Structure 1
């Protein structure tokens, strides 16, 4: 007669803290987030350095990190690259502000009033799919090669996106709040001013933050053609000289400026609409 084996001991469950750490949507501490983000950049640069310094990639096609830094220093010290950076930032902010000033009120009107939405939405949806770069030949004919042409490229690339996104945000307002405001005697104009706009403001600000990132792609396209200054102009000149170090440095500068502007925008949104994050 065989002897029954004792039941296997149950495996110890992972600690509750570990389970929470691995759970979906579980937030991480600010210090851990910064460490993880910096770790990826370190890993990226290490792979880049190994590929270039190890001879796996020709310097003609990809400069090493050290070469890129030397070329970047040369741009600032010898070629007044700070002026190009300033011009690019000015163009991004100018075109983006022009788009926001026009798009936000139109988007609010479309979201709040279905008649306005029916009138504008087909045209806005049509224009939203038109690439801003396709307008450059016309804009050069209409506005020349000056600053207005570059501002209009950013404006066209941003304005229709903002209009439609703002309209969706405002149109998705809670109906119970609107009905409660009518019950308390609010007028249609008061509904828009006191219910729809305050309720949608945090999301509108977040939409503007996202579209500002898109504006950076449009400004480089605008500076690639018929420009005598700006980061895009420098990249085109460096491409003609096969100077990949300067090209990569210009791309990294765009990313750094965009990262800083995004962080400032996010900080401002948190201060202006702190109640929305509670």
Structure 2
């Protein structure tokens, strides 16, 4: 073989080097077309569903601890027929949206200033780093004392669970803007306010959108905790009520609904992000 190579004979390429579909898929960070992505994503859900069905059909687990997929569907239908399902979904979506919106309105400008000005960072970052490790559940007695038993208490608990993380992540997004852009704006005579609004904010906005998507997931995780506070409706309340009566199938319905709603909102924000920032692709 060495003699053929020295003589300039062409080397027959292997299948892996020809750019075959398998090779292109498994190269590191190689883009995957939408059809294959959806196929793999659907396969993962199908595999999970099949494994769930197989375990329950085998009788190895008591249905009280792990209901079958058919039992969960029956519980969903019964929940819908009793007329409270849509109301529970609506109030939970409202609580998450209100708490998340309040966090975003406050965290985005504060995070922008923390990422832009070092004195502001020194003033706020240590406090935010300390506060983000405080469990939101520990604030339940204080929230009840300060805000009573109404909707405000539930919204504020979701705010506590998302605000501090959001500020730090927005600040990090802002600090990642290349210094060359700031220096170029200064060379053109831009003021600090212009650099803040026209350079830092616009450059960091796509990354900030990713941060908002991520922290929206945090908001959904704190929903059940928020609905512990003297709630009489909502998906979290329904899960806790089902626990008291050992209705495991309804617990599964509530958990799956929260996951599905979160997935739909996340994908909606992802599509909106592609429309707003097409150059990110």
Q: Does 1:228 align with 2:232?
A: yes
User: 2:181 corresponds to which residue?
Assistant: 177
Specify which of 154, 157, 161 is matched with residue 161 of structure 2: 157
Distance in 2 of aligned mates of 1:19 and 1:162: 39
The 10-residue stretch of structure 1 (136-145 or 17-26) with the greater mean CA deviation from structure 2? 17-26
* Counterpart for residue 206 of structure 2: 202
Residues 154-186 of structure 1 show CA distances to partners (whole Å, capped at 9, x for unaligned) of 101111111111111112221111111111111
In structure 1, list runs of 5 or more residues that go unmatched: 1-6
Q: Deviating runs (4+, > 6 A) in structure 1?
A: none
Shift, 1:145, TM fit: 1.5
Number of the residue aligned with 2:19: 16
- For 1:3, the equivalent position in structure 2 comes to none
What's the counterpart of residue 7 of structure 2?
A: none
- How many aligned residue pairs are there? 269
Name the counterpart of 2:51: 47
Q: Does residue 109 of the first structure (1) align with residue 113 of the second (2)?
A: yes
Q: Normalising by the residue count of structure 1, what TM-score does the alignment of the two structures yield?
A: 0.93
Shift of 1:69: 0.3
CA RMSD of aligned residues (A): 1.5
Answer with 208-217 or 141-150: which moved more.
141-150
Structure 2 distance, partners of 1:57, 1:236, is 22
Aligned to 2:142: 138
CA–CA distance in 1 between the matches of 2:244 and 2:183? Answer: 63
Aligned-partner SS, 2:222? helix
Worse overlay, 168-177 or 64-73: 168-177
Distance 1:48 1:76 in 2: 23
Unmatched 5+ stretches in structure 2: 5-10
**CA offset digits 1:48-70 (Å, max 9, x no partner):** 11111210110111110000000
Q: Which residue is equivalent to 2:265?
A: 261
